[in-house]
Amino acid sequence: MSTLDEARSEIRAGEELNQAALQTYLQTVFNAPQDALTILQFPGGHSNLTYLLNFGNRELVLRRPPFGAEELKNAHNMGREFQYLSLLHPVYDKVPQPLHYCDDKQVIGTPFYVMERKKGIVLRNHPPEGIALTPTKMRQLCELFVDNLIDLHQIDVYASGLIQMGKPEGFLARQIKGATERYQHVALGDVSEAQQLADWLWAHIPSESKIGIIHNDYKFDNIMYSADQMNSIVAVLDWEMATVGDVYCDLAATLGYWVEKGEYDALNTFATKQAGSFNRRELLECYEEKTKSKITHIPFYYALTCYRNAVIVQQLYYRFHKGYTQDQRLGGLKGWDKIFFQLGLQTIQTGKISNF
């Protein structure tokens, strides 16, 4: 059975690590045996780079910023990601345990951290081997997915200390301002649609919000299910954009990744289009039912997600455009910023987040 979280032997060109320096450093930090270090790369993900390290029979996972990250303002702060996981892990065991942070650029040329390896099944761009994704199974996976998101949103950010990782007051305004500034740094063409959407968002910020943990990238390919027929969730991955703020932004971010049948698909998603999977309306209704809440202003939150997604895909494409990476997946994102801006404008015009 393929677990889909397997690292591959070939590291993408231009994304190699200084193996000798890293081996010497980690052997000192972990008092590891003198066995040769082997490095593999996890092929998934579009931003921070993730590697599997093998010291004899010990496995570690290394996370580092992408090459060219210094060109992107306020992005890829590895120390912050490590600190967030360090605060979260004691109260939520579905995150890999962070083990060591290194800010010495002499080792591999950039700050990085290492953590434990979790094993399980991740739904990326094709079905897992040996498990039939029947409509009933997809429904179960969606229920587990929403249950786990609610669990995250109900963590006490004050008791856990995670409140120090965000500034809830003025959160939504900062999201608009920050996304606008980041887009200005990487925009390569006409920005009129971006400006139109931003103007609407500024004029419609909700006056109230629900404060909690925000993963900011909660989607199927960051969720690891158990290997026993995917009957539970064992890990949530990729916390680089996590913060503390309005949890409905987090829900909307998930809705923004949730591709429905017949729609755009920038990231080659398959699971949300499987028979039995929720559509966006059903996902929202499931969340509301389980939390016994009715979320008002959902068009605002969804339009803000479209705005942020436009900026994110443009940041990814910009790295390819500038020659910082040879990853052809990022080259394929050319023009997707405009698609997300248009989707956001459509949302504010119709008030709908789903085609169903």
Asked whether 47 and 77 are in contact (CB, 8 A), the reply is no
Architecture of the 19-115 domain:
2-Layer Sandwich (3.30)
DSSP state letters, 37-84 = EEEEE----SSSEEEEEEETTEEEEEEEPPTTGGGSTT---HHHHHHH
Q: Would you give per-residue pLDDT tens digits along the chain (356 residues)? A: 344 466 666 788 889 999 999 999 999 998 877 778 999 998 776 678 999 998 877 899 999 998 865 655 556 799 999 999 999 999 999 999 999 999 999 999 999 999 999 999 999 888 898 899 999 999 999 999 999 999 999 999 999 999 999 999 999 999 999 999 999 999 998 999 999 999 999 999 999 889 999 999 999 999 999 998 999 999 999 999 999 999 999 999 999 999 998 887 655 578 999 999 999 999 999 999 999 999 999 999 999 999 999 999 999 899 899 998 888 888 989 999 999 999 999 999 999 999 87
Architecture of the 121-350 domain:
Alpha-Beta Complex (3.90)
Query: In the chain, what are the domain boundaries?
Result: 19-115, 121-350
Burial code (b: 16+ CB inside 10 Å, e: under 16) for 144-157 equals: bbbebbeebbeeeb
pTM: 0.90
